[in-house]
Amino acid sequence: MLKKIPKILSPELLKVLCEMGHSDRIVIADGNFPAESMGKNAIVIRMDGHGIPEILEAILELFPLDTYVEHPVNLMQVMPGDTVETPIWDVYQEIVSRFDDRKEKAIGQIERFAFYEEAKKAYAIIATGESALYANILLQKGVVTD
């Protein structure tokens, strides 16, 4: 055991977060996301019993967001014509705002199929048990300055 490390972060995930360099990206995927097929060239970490907000918060305790891009956090856009509500995005805004001075402006959106293409290039994908729709989130790592 270590001190000050969120208990939800497994040794495997800690190793991955440490290995990642500036501009590397990680997807925290909801339960409907095709993590295994999208992650053929990435490390796929299973966290099926957990929701995305608790994982996001724990990761951001240790993980600097990229300051060289406008949106180091990206969400999968709702498809046109889809009437799905996305209240989980408000939760993400609150969490990101606590860890990044840009607040909700650090968060962008990527069209669904473009999100899949970006996910295929990610360093890692975390497959969660999150049941909210359109809950997928892509984080881009920044530089540790302290």
DSSP 141: B
Catalytic residue check, 22: yes
Catalytic residue list contains 134: no
123 is catalytic: no
CA distances from 73 to 3, 12, 40, 64, 130 (A): 27, 22, 22, 11, 18
User: Is 83 exposed, middle or buried, given 0-12, 13-18 or 19+ CB atoms closer than 10 A?
Assistant: exposed
Catalytic residue among 30, 66, 92, 134: 66
Residue 119 is which amino acid?
A
Secondary element (H or E) of residue 89? helix 88-99
Of 24, 50, 71, 116, the catalytic one is: 116
Residues designated as active site? 22, 66, 116
